[in-house]
Amino acid sequence: MAILAAARTTLLRAVVAFFPVSDIAELERSTPYQSVRDYVNAVCRPQNLDKVSPIAAAGSINAAILLIHGGRDDRVPLAQSEAMRKALEAAHKSVELRVLPGAKHDFSAAQFEEAWPWVVGFLASHQMLSLASRNPEQQRRVNMFTEQGWASRLGARGIKNVRQLGAVKRERVTLTENPHVRGRKDEMREFTFDGMYVRALFPGRSHDAYLLQEVEITKPRWKVKYGLNIGATRATMLEMLGQPDGEKRDFVEYFHSLGIGTARIWLVDDRIAKLEWEFRAD
């Protein structure tokens, strides 16, 4: 459901949704699971079922959509994806539906493996136009680099691990409403080091764990995976990661194949001048 809702943004050209909920009111009527009905009543209904049902926003979705569903899914019935496909087609949107006949809800590892070629082919056609030109090792590096491209302990659990990276020049804290638990506050913290900026979300204001939102590196003192440090050449970038997935006037972009993160690389005179990572975790 959240994956489909994210497709309304213009940043995504393609979205893959596994066994998604599309019409919450219909799910409440059709599911045999009392826990699902309880969740709908407690969480969805107070927000208005139409407002949180992606099918109601089919006309405003700008990305191409691949729906993957198990043919024997009784928790979120296949009819949910079938209805979403019809709604998107009626709105003249790009949509594909793939059904894995024997699969139930939450695919096994083998079933995900079976569905993976559908994902790769779809993303190669719509989102990651350079994916087909990369060799398997380059694609593995792209996924690693976009998820955690820095060569440090940044991303490990706890606020202490962030502060132990080096001297923090500035630290800013902003309180935000937790999007999932009413009345709960989260902390958005910004850490500025000499040549590195980090923005992280601390759910529930707990400092034992955090979700990275943005990382920016501007000085060579902060090492990067695969030798892609500040000052490295475009040729090294292409050798390690292959062709970028997007190119703007001042930077190129690499996307994780599952949408986990985006890495942007600024080049000046064919040398890396700045690196930035952005994550969609909330």
More confidently predicted of 11 and 186: 186
pLDDT-based confidence at residue 2 (cuts at 50, 70, 90) = very low
What's the pLDDT at 132? 65
Claim to verify: residue 8 and residue 139 sit in the same structural domain: no
Does residue 117 carry a pLDDT above 70? yes
Q: Is the dihedral of CA 226, 228, 232, 235 positive or negative?
A: positive
pLDDT-based confidence at residue 129 (cuts at 50, 70, 90) = low
Q: Which of 88, 112, 127 is the last residue of a domain?
A: 127
What's the pLDDT at 180? 74
50: alpha, beta or left? (left if phi > 0; alpha if psi -120 to 50) = alpha
Does residue 10 carry a pLDDT above 50? no
Claim to verify: residue 205 and residue 98 sit in the same structural domain: no
More confidently predicted of 15 and 131: 15
Please give the sequence-ordered ranges of beta strands (E in DSSP) within 218-281, or none if there are none.
246-247, 251-255, 261-268, 271-279
Claim to verify: residue 36 and residue 8 sit in the same structural domain: yes
Claim to verify: residue 208 and residue 81 sit in the same structural domain: no
Mean pLDDT of 134-160: 90
CATH number at 86 reads 3.40.50.1820
Claim to verify: residue 144 and residue 213 sit in the same structural domain: yes
Claim to verify: residue 109 and residue 176 sit in the same structural domain: no
Q: Which of 106, 127, 148 is the last residue of a domain?
A: 127
Does residue 260 carry a pLDDT above 60? yes
Please provide the average confidence, as pLDDT, over all residues in the chain: 88
What's the pLDDT at 7? 42
pLDDT-based confidence at residue 5 (cuts at 50, 70, 90) = very low
Alpha-carbon distance of 56 to 90, in angstroms, equals 12
Q: Which of 79, 107, 127 is the last residue of a domain?
A: 127
pLDDT digit string (tens) for 28-59?
998 899 999 998 998 889 888 888 899 999 98
Does residue 220 carry a pLDDT above 70? yes
Claim to verify: residue 39 and residue 103 sit in the same structural domain: yes
Structural domain of residue 214, as residue ranges?
133-279
Cut 0.85: pTM above it: no
What's the pLDDT at 135? 84
Which residue is it, tokens 């009905």? 37
CATH number at 269 reads 2.60.460
Number of domains in the chain: 2
Does residue 118 carry a pLDDT above 80? yes
Does residue 3 carry a pLDDT above 80? no
Element (H, E) at 189: strand 185-193
Please list, in sequence order, all residues whose beta carbon lies within 8 angstroms of the beta carbon of residue 89, skipping any fewer than 6 positions away: 95
Claim to verify: residue 148 and residue 122 sit in the same structural domain: no
At residue 235, the 3 state secondary structure works out as: helix
Q: Within its chain, how far is the Cα of 108 from the centroid?
A: 21
Which residue is it, tokens 């529930």? 204
pLDDT digit string (tens) for 161-198?
999 999 999 999 999 888 777 888 999 999 999 999 99
Claim to verify: residue 156 and residue 119 sit in the same structural domain: no
Claim to verify: residue 191 and residue 115 sit in the same structural domain: no
Alpha-carbon distance of 7 to 16, in angstroms, equals 10
Claim to verify: residue 42 and residue 178 sit in the same structural domain: no
Name 16's bridge partners.
66
Claim to verify: residue 184 and residue 267 sit in the same structural domain: yes
